[in-house]
Amino acid sequence: MLDFFSQIMEFIKNLCFPPSCYICNDFTETNGLCSECWKNITWITEPKCKICGVPFAIQLQDFCPNCERKRPKFDMAISIFVYNKYSKKMILHFKNYDCTYMANQFAKWLYRIAEKELTNTDIIIPVPITTLRRITRKYNQSELLAMSISELSHIKYEPRILIKSKSTKSQEGLTRLSRQKNLIGSFSVNSKFADLLKDKNVALVDDVITTGSTANECAKVLKKYGAKNVIVLTIAHTVLNNVELQ
| Sequence spans of domains, the chain | 1-40, 41-237
Say which CATH topology domain 41-237 has: Rossmann fold (3.40.50)
pLDDT at 179: 58
Helix axes 102-114, 85-96, angle to 10 degrees: 120
| pTM for the full predicted model | 0.87
| Rounded Cα gap, residues 124 and 213, in angstroms | 19
Which amino acid, residue 75? D
Task: Give 187's strand partners.
Answer: 164
| Binned average pLDDT, 10 residues per bin, the chain of 246 residues | 49 58 86 90 96 90 92 97 96 93 96 97 96 90 98 97 76 58 78 96 97 94 97 95 38
pLDDT at 180: 57
